[in-house]
Amino acid sequence: MATHAQIASNLQNLQATNGWDAVFAMNLKQANALLFQQYLEHGAPTSAKHLRVMLDTGGPQGYAIVDFELGPPELTFQAGSSHALLEMELIKGVLITFNPAENCIEQAAWVQPKESKLSGALELAKVTGEVNEVGKVVLDLGASAYVPAIAGVDPNSEMNKQIGLAIQTFFAANSTTFTLGAVAQGNVPAALTPTYFQFATQSTAQESCVLLLIQTNGQPGAPGPLPAYPIPDGRTAAILIGEETLFAGALVERLNKAFQFSQGKFERRKDSEGWVATAIGGSVSFGQIGQRLNEQDCSWSEGPVAFPLNPSFVVKRTTTGLQADWTPVSSQAWLRQYLVLTPGNPHSGTPGSTFWITSEPKKLTLSISYSWHGEPKIDPITDIVSFAANSIGTKCELSKKSNTSAYSWWDMCSVYIPNQITNTVLSTLKENLDKAFKLVDINTFALASLLFPSGHTVRLTDVALTKDLYLTGHLQQPIAVAPSDSLVAPGGFIQFTASGADGLQHADILWEINPRIGSISASGLYTAPATLSSAELIVITAVDKNNAGSTGRALALVSQSPAAQGIAVSPAKSLVTPDQSVRLSASDSSGKHVNVTWTLSPNVGEIVNGWDPSFSVYKAPNTLTDAIRVTAHATGVANPALKGFTVIQVVPTNSLQVQPDNPAVKLSASVALTATTTANNASAIRWVVYPTGAGVIEFDQDDPSKATYTAPASLPTESDRAHVLAYLVDDEGAGMGSATITLIP
């Protein structure tokens, strides 16, 4: 990828913003980092992480329940469009198929990390902003059609298609969105205040980014990618301030403030070479200037020496920075005072005397030729953009407007008056131009008008003045936790560290974990529990002890590698009831199918070949009294040293009933439901509503056998009825029960 200097060179004399007043660019890696932090910030469980839906599979499997915990969303941008490919890993959960006519669960398959995922083309959306926001760019998970890839489910089956549709409906009903960024008005000059924006994506062979195309008080530019990919190697973000916006907003505002002492007034103007800032009023006064030539001769200006700013004070762009030129001319009246000696009379003894004589004012024409050139830089502490002078030239010339004698006083004036004015001009203008070219509004725009979730802010590191102002840097969070995403086996350890916005390791940290599975020490050492029944996502949070609002987060997945013995069997864990079956497949560590032989321990049920060589089918016995754990061992045919296994829990069907079983509920009203079961573990009961969107069911976390159903605000399109299903699957049994709710308008 190109460096900052290479991109700046490519942008010379190009309208890099495509006519927009400003552009913000964020690369794909940073966009996914924002999504990742939002995912962790949501906490567990929320609709963004946990989905639970019931669906009609449209095939021989009948009905199914999808109960999955999702990993962080990850994007891939599609070049030249606002579309993105979204992927979310299925971290854990279970896919249950059941027969509603007989009120019985047939089978359940648990997903394992790294083996199943959701993917779909997603339209990035612009939504109306909140208070003082122009708008924001969001990912609406309900706006995508998903293609699931679930271990044990035929990707070409009707069931897989219906799962994708049900997941899309679930996200739409639960309003699940992630924010990439917002554009706000901020406390900046009008020329930098956003009033409208569009967004686009841009890609190269190596990298992709999302663009916020911002209009302030100009006109909208051309939509779509920029003339050159704006983010250099080693950076995650870029800002481009259009040439007109730079001169109209940042420069003109700063020049007006810096020259307030002289009533200076500047405006932007376009000439043949581009936009410039030019003075339209005001003058610079250097006060009364005078100098003693010697002990007997001095001169001074009759009044303050002043030079007009208008029209000769102009600031323009060069190939490397800004150039300020000032060539004023002013007529000034100057006085000479000199000492006259009257000789004494030695004969009469009268002493001599001295007295000062002031000459008549002499009109002199003074002309200044002032030139200042500075190159852009960024303060590494404050991020403020300024232009540091690397070349300053001043010349003052004097010409008299009236005839004078040949006396050399005027010749001496033509030397010392210009010298004195030159020194005064240098000191006065340097002080004020240093203020004018300290563009604090650019930094304010980056911080106040570009808003990002999870406390991220723009940190500027590099700047160049091409045709536009080109800045690059990073999005940084208050505290960065490393490693950000890690996998640890049960009983394993991970050392986490926290660093501040300055990149230095942060020692004064309070460490927290959620959920409280395993432990974390005061130094950030996480210890996973020795055993786990299923994979667990642990959110690691680092809190600044001196500022509780300053936090950072990381993710630890506690799970055993599925191919630890050489062969991964999918599903790694499943459940079947009598006379039901489950599909099994075997693969190596790379995911490639492996031909295997199967043995059962104990030898309960049987494994037969599937209709496709890539899978086999376990069939449970027709009858069963008590639950039994069956381990299916897989041995590689070509390489018997490769082994793997899966656990199949064969369980009886439990009775489960929901009361009341046929209530009537007004729209937006609620009703309490209770599930009773013959199973020993009522804490495994879960609830789901069908069809998705026909109300919400929330169960008691302390007693899941109790739940509250809330009707939707309007009738579903399918019918005036909603179905609530209570179900449980555990190592001892499986059962389900339902209630049909009549919705009353």
What does the DSSP assignment read for 100-146?
Answer: TTTTEEEEEEEE-TTS-EEEEEEEEEEE--STTEEEEEEEEGGGSEE
Query: For 612-643, what is each residue's pLDDT tens digit?
Result: 888 899 999 999 989 999 999 999 999 998 99
Q: How far apart are CA 648 and CA 108, in angstroms?
A: 10
- Is residue 473 predicted with pLDDT exceeding 90? yes
Instruction: Classify burial at 367, counting beta carbons within 10 Å of its beta carbon; exposed 0-12, middle 13-18, buried 19 or more.
Output: middle
- Contact indicator for 75, 139 with CB cutoff of 8 Å: yes
Q: How far apart are CA 40 and CA 46, in angstroms?
A: 11
Q: DSSP characters for 172-205?
A: HHTT-EEEEEEEE--SS-GGGS--EEEEEEEE-S
Query: Are 616 and 673 contained in the same domain?
Result: no
Is 537 within the bounds of a domain?
Answer: yes
pLDDT of 30: 92
Which contacts of 265-271 are long-range, i.e. CB under 8 A and separated by 24 or more positions? 265/310, 266/313, 266/315, 268/244, 270/244, 271/316
List the one residue out of 34, 95, 37 whose CA is nearest residue 69. Answer: 95
Query: Are 418 and 305 contained in the same domain?
Result: yes
672-679 mean pLDDT: 91
Q: How far apart are CA 722 and CA 743, in angstroms?
A: 7
pLDDT of 146: 86
Tell which wins on pLDDT, 540 or 120.
Answer: 540
Instruction: Classify burial at 54, counting beta carbons within 10 Å of its beta carbon; exposed 0-12, middle 13-18, buried 19 or more.
Output: buried
pLDDT of 407: 43
Neighbour-count burial for 237-266, b at 16+ CB within 10 Å, e otherwise: bbbbbbbbbbbbbbbbbbbbebbeebebbb
- Is residue 295 predicted with pLDDT exceeding 80? no
pLDDT of 344: 60
CATH code (residue 725): 2.60.40.10
User: CB atoms < 10 A from the CB of 672, how many?
Assistant: 12
329-342 mean pLDDT: 74
- Is residue 463 predicted with pLDDT exceeding 90? yes
Query: For 355-367, what is each residue's pLDDT tens digit?
Result: 666 667 777 788 8
**Phi, psi dihedrals of residue 424, rounded to the nearest 5°:** -70, -40
Query: Are 263 and 368 contained in the same domain?
Result: yes
Cα radius of gyration rounded to whole Å, the chain = 39
- Is residue 347 predicted with pLDDT exceeding 70? no
- Is residue 498 predicted with pLDDT exceeding 90? yes
**Which of 191-195, 416-420, 670-674 has the weakest average pLDDT?**
416-420
- Is residue 710 predicted with pLDDT exceeding 50? yes
**Which of 48-52, 53-57, 610-614, 660-664 has the weakest average pLDDT?**
48-52
Is 225 within the bounds of a domain?
Answer: no
Query: Confidence class of residue 413 from pLDDT cuts 50, 70 and 90?
Result: low
**Helix or strand (DSSP H, E) at 464:** strand 457-465
Query: Are 264 and 400 contained in the same domain?
Result: yes
How many residues are present in the chain?
A: 745
Total domains in the chain come to 5
473-491 mean pLDDT: 92
- Contact indicator for 66, 52 with CB cutoff of 8 Å: yes
- Is residue 434 predicted with pLDDT exceeding 90? no
Instruction: Give the mean pLDDT of the chain.
Output: 86
- Is residue 161 predicted with pLDDT exceeding 80? yes
Query: Confidence class of residue 352 from pLDDT cuts 50, 70 and 90?
Result: low
pLDDT of 111: 86
Query: For 543-573, what is each residue's pLDDT tens digit?
Result: 999 888 889 999 999 987 655 578 888 888 8
- Contact indicator for 497, 39 with CB cutoff of 8 Å: no
431-439 mean pLDDT: 86
- Is residue 42 predicted with pLDDT exceeding 60? yes
- The CA-based dihedral angle spanning residues 397, 399, 404, 406, taken in that order and rounded to the nearest 10 degrees: 50
Is 97 within the bounds of a domain?
Answer: yes
pLDDT of 414: 66
Query: For 258-289, what is each residue's pLDDT tens digit?
Result: 899 889 899 999 888 889 999 999 998 888 87
713-740 mean pLDDT: 90
- Is residue 513 predicted with pLDDT exceeding 60? yes
pTM over 0.85: no
- Is residue 60 predicted with pLDDT exceeding 90? no
pLDDT of 406: 41
Query: Are 336 and 351 contained in the same domain?
Result: yes
Query: Are 249 and 373 contained in the same domain?
Result: yes
**Phi, psi dihedrals of residue 455, rounded to the nearest 5°:** 75, 10
CA 40 to chain centre: 14
Query: Are 253 and 361 contained in the same domain?
Result: yes
List the one residue out of 582, 608, 601, 613 whose CA is nearest residue 643. Answer: 601
Q: How far apart are CA 660 and CA 430, in angstroms?
A: 84
How far apart, in Å, are the Cα atoms of 458 and each of 226, 477, 584? 20, 9, 49
CATH code (residue 624): 2.60.40
- Contact indicator for 526, 540 with CB cutoff of 8 Å: yes
Is 204 within the bounds of a domain?
Answer: no
- Is residue 682 predicted with pLDDT exceeding 90? no
507-533 mean pLDDT: 91
Instruction: Give the tokens for residue 476.
Output: 């940084």
pLDDT of 481: 94
Query: Are 389 and 252 contained in the same domain?
Result: yes
Instruction: Give the tokens for residue 205.
Output: 């062979």
pLDDT of 408: 52
Query: Are 253 and 371 contained in the same domain?
Result: yes
Residue tagged 């000459």 (tokens): 359
Is 299 within the bounds of a domain?
Answer: yes
Instruction: Give the tokens for residue 191.
Output: 């020329």
User: Of 529, 558, 587, which residue constitutes the final position of a domain?
Assistant: 558
pLDDT of 554: 94
Q: How far apart are CA 80 and CA 93, in angstroms?
A: 36
Q: Give the residue numbers spanning the domain of 669.
A: 653-744
Query: Confidence class of residue 708 from pLDDT cuts 50, 70 and 90?
Result: very high
**Which of 18-32, 211-225, 292-306 has the weakest average pLDDT?**
292-306
Query: Are 506 and 536 contained in the same domain?
Result: yes
Query: Are 403 and 265 contained in the same domain?
Result: yes
Asked, as a colleague might, if the bond just before 361 is cis with ω within 30 of 0, I would say no
Query: For 102-123, what is each residue's pLDDT tens digit?
Result: 888 999 998 888 778 889 887 7
